A and B are shown apart, each in its own frame.
Chain A
Amino acid sequence: MNLLSILPFAVIAAITLAGALAAAALPNLVHAALSLVLAFLGVAAFFFLLGAEFIGLVQVIVYVGAVAVLIVFTILLTRSDSGRPGYMNWGGVPVALAVLAGLLWALSRTALPAGQAGAAAPLTVLGIGQTLMNQYVWPLQAVGVVLTAALVGAVVLVMEEKR
């Protein structure tokens, strides 16, 4: 491990996984949502570490800025049944552990390409925009349609029904 120096990698990994573990295990919904923000920030720091600054910024703006706020709003709008005992169904833990063990086993058995230090071209906003508008113009249009449909669908779903 030469390109990523060990220390920042370890710190970011610890923050990310601690936030994710807290989001998965804390009984209080608001605490879990705030821990999810911590995990998202850790993932964004990973993107910065990997040289994808724009994607890291988008991660912060979209996930920390919008998705986390949406989740907290929904939590606050649906609070009448919190604090119920037996909030966990522990049968899922062995399944998750089995998936974890299987994926780690597969990773240990796979020969991955060795990372070349500094080989990656810098991910500039200009390059992203040119690639999006040339090579990926149809996927971009499709994403626009998907986001419009999601927006309209979300509004229709929560609209008050006329009686």
Chain B
Amino acid sequence: MGALEAVIAVSIVLFSLGLMAVLTRRDAIFMLIGIEMMLAAGNLNLVAFWHYGPHPEQMTGAMMAIFAMAVAAGETAVGLALILAVYRHRRSTQIDQLNTLKG
């Protein structure tokens, strides 16, 4: 197993843990934490492929990782603001209690 495969295996496990956090938790903040873990796993993949790819001097993967980080930071700020806005109305961040639209 080469170094690239090892890094990608770690990234896969990190992504799966984030997915598990998103799918199993009932608290919206926990789901945001899981999304952050999945984004970090994606960034790890981008940097690993940049480092071991055929043209590392073009810095494509590294640039993509930088842009992904910027967008992820904005996503976190908006997500937490949404959670705060929902909490102000419903006094809860548990997503299974947000069932107003349920028929």
- B10: chain A residues within 8 A (beta carbon): 13, 16-17, 46
Contact B82 A157 (CB under 8 A): yes
Given A32-B30, A115-B51, A157-B81, A89-B25 contact (CB < 8 Å): yes
B40–A39 touching, CB < 8 Å: yes
Chain B residues whose C-beta falls within 8 Å of the C-beta of A2 in the assembled complex: 3
With A29-B27, A55-B62, A103-B16 in contact, is A147–B70 under 8 Å at CB? yes
A129: min CB distance to chain B, Å = 11
**What is the bound-complex CA distance between A73 and B65, given in angstroms?**
26
Complex alpha-carbon distance, A150 and B12, angstroms: 29
Give the total of B residues in contact with A, Cβ under 8 Å: 73
Decide if A7 is an interface residue (CB 8 Å cutoff).
no
Q: Which residues of A contact B52 (CB under 8 A)?
A: 112-116, 120
Closest Cβ of chain B to A79, distance in Å, is 9
Structural contact, B20 and A96, CB atoms closer than 8 A: yes
Residue in B36, B67, B85 whose CB lies within 8 Å of A158 = B85
Q: Are A92 and B78 in contact (CB under 8 A)?
A: no
Q: Which of chain A's residues 69-114 have a Cβ closer than 8 Å to chain B?
A: 70-71, 73-75, 77-78, 80-81, 84, 86-93, 95-97, 99-100, 103-104, 107, 112-114
Known: A43-B40, A47-B47, A150-B77. A143 touches B19 (CB 8 A): no
Q: Which residue of B lies closest to A12 (CB)?
A: B10
Q: Is B24 in contact with chain A by the CB < 8 A criterion? A: yes
Across the A-B interface, give the 10 residue pairs with the lowest CB-CB distance, nearest first: A92-B23, A150-B74, A96-B20, A115-B52, A100-B16, A120-B56, A154-B81, A24-B21, A157-B81, A92-B24
- Are B78 and A153 closer than 8 Å at their CB atoms? yes
* Inter-chain contact A89/B26, CB cutoff 8 Å: yes
From known contacts A71-B33, A78-B84, A92-B20, infer whether A107 and B8 are also in contact, taking CB-CB under 8 Å. Answer: yes
Segment 60-103 of B: residues with Cβ below 8 Å from A: 62-63, 65-67, 69-71, 73-78, 80-85, 87-88, 91-94, 96
